């Protein structure tokens, strides 16, 4: 436990970045079918997960026709091991077991999503590892349908 560095705030943002709109609605709905949607820019080819309404690289408008389905497999681009979490009132709670949050680039995607990495000892987690999604037993069309990622895939 000697290598734990105390921080005053979260050193990363765990969550999705999206622009609200039909894309996000579709993305969440399709999760019920265990499908992960992205948007592929027809101009520059950049692929976003979750899908969005405008390309952040070249500002091309993205629509229904630019939606693309991605596999639930990808590479762990980077990760962080959390030992505490916020309780919603600005206080840190000790997690007991460390939690790994990974930045994952799905196959065919250019943007990353942030998801918990489980089924692995946090000490064994490595950048560049292959990971795959673990779905909830009953998917309902909500973000929580993607429970976490685990090592594997391909």
Lookup: tokens for 105: 């680039």
> How many chain residues bind Zn ion (CB under 5 A)?
8
Which member of 4, 58, 86, 93 binds Zn ion (CB under 5 A)?
58
Print burial letters for 120-130: b (CB count within 10 Å at least 16), e (below 16). Answer: beeeebeeebe
Question: Quick check: 61 binds Zn ion (CB under 5 A)?
Answer: no
How would you classify the pairing of strands 130-135 and 73-86?
A: antiparallel
- Order of strands, sheet of 47-48, starting from the edge strand that comes earlier in the sequence: 47-48, 36-40, 67-70
Question: Quick check: 55 binds Zn ion (CB under 5 A)?
Answer: yes
Q: Which stretch binds Zn ion (CB under 5 A): 4-12, 54-62, 80-88, 97-105?
A: 54-62
What is the closest distance, in whole angstroms, from the C-beta atom of residue 23 to Zn ion in the complex? Answer: 15
Binding site for Zn ion (CB under 5 A): 41, 43-44, 46, 55, 57-58, 60
């Amino acid at each position: 436990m000697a290598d734990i560095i105390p921080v005053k705030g979260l050193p990363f943002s765990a969550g999705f970045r999206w622009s609200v709109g039909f894309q996000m609605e579709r993305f969440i709905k399709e999760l019920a079918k265990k499908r992960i949607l992205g948007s592929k820019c027809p101009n520059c080819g950049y692929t976003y997960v979750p899908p969005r309404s405008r390309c952040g690289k070249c500002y091309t408008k993205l629509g229904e026709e630019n939606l693309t389905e991605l596999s639930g497999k990808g590479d762990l681009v980077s990760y962080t091991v959390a030992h505490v979490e916020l309780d919603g009132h600005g206080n840190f709670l000790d997690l007991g077991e460390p939690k790994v949050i990974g930045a994952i680039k799905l196959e065919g995607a250019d943007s990353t999503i942030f998801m918990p990495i489980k089924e692995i000892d946090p000490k064994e987690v490595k950048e560049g590892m292959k990971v795959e999604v673990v779905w909830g037993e009953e998917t309902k069309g909500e973000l929580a349908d993607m429970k976490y990622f685990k090592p594997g895939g391909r």
